[in-house]
Amino acid sequence: MQPSGPLQKKTEPDIERLLDNQRARLYIEEADRYLDSIGYTEHGLRHCGIVSKTAYRILKRLSYPERSAKLAAAAGFLHDIGNLLGRKMHHKMGALLAKEVLEEVGFDLVDITRIMTAIVIHEEDEGSIPDEVAAALLIADKSDVHRSRVRNPSMVTEDIHDRVNYAATESELIIEPEQKLITLSLVIDTRMSQVIEYFEIFLSRMTSCRRAAKVLGTEFKLVINNTRMA
What pLDDT tens digit does each residue of the chain (230 aa) get?
Answer: 344 454 555 788 999 999 999 999 999 999 999 988 887 777 889 999 999 999 999 999 999 999 999 999 999 999 999 999 988 888 899 999 999 999 999 999 999 999 999 999 988 666 789 999 999 999 999 998 877 777 777 666 667 777 877 788 888 999 999 999 999 998 888 887 788 877 777 788 888 999 999 999 999 999 988 888 86
Helix boundaries (H) for the chain:
15-20, 22-37, 45-61, 66-78, 90-104, 109-121, 132-142, 160-167, 195-215
Cα end-to-end span (Å), the chain:
51
What pLDDT sits at residue 125?
A: 66
What pLDDT sits at residue 25?
A: 97
Q: Under a CB-based contact definition with an 8 Å cutoff, are residues 109 and 120 in contact?
A: no
> Torsion over CA of 64, 67, 72 and 77, rounded to 10 degrees?
150
In a domain, 219, yes or no: yes
In a domain, 149, yes or no: yes
What pLDDT sits at residue 147?
A: 73
Residues in the chain: 230
In a domain, 90, yes or no: yes
Q: Provide Rg for the chain, Cα atoms.
A: 18
In a domain, 7, yes or no: no
Specify the 3-state DSSP secondary structure of 186: strand
* Cβ neighbours of residue 47 closer than 8 Å, sequence gap 6 or more: 32, 80, 144, 149
- For 182, phi then psi, to 5°, come to -120, 125
Q: Which residues are paired to 219 by β-bridges?
A: 181
The structure's pTM equals: 0.88
In a domain, 6, yes or no: no
* Cβ neighbours of residue 113 closer than 8 Å, sequence gap 6 or more: none
The total of structural domains in the chain comes to 1
What pLDDT sits at residue 199?
A: 76
Residue type, 79: H
Residue 33 belongs to what domain range? 12-228
In a domain, 5, yes or no: no
In a domain, 198, yes or no: yes
Give the CATH number, domain containing residue 169. 1.10.3210
In a domain, 201, yes or no: yes
The 8-class DSSP code of residue 184 comes to E
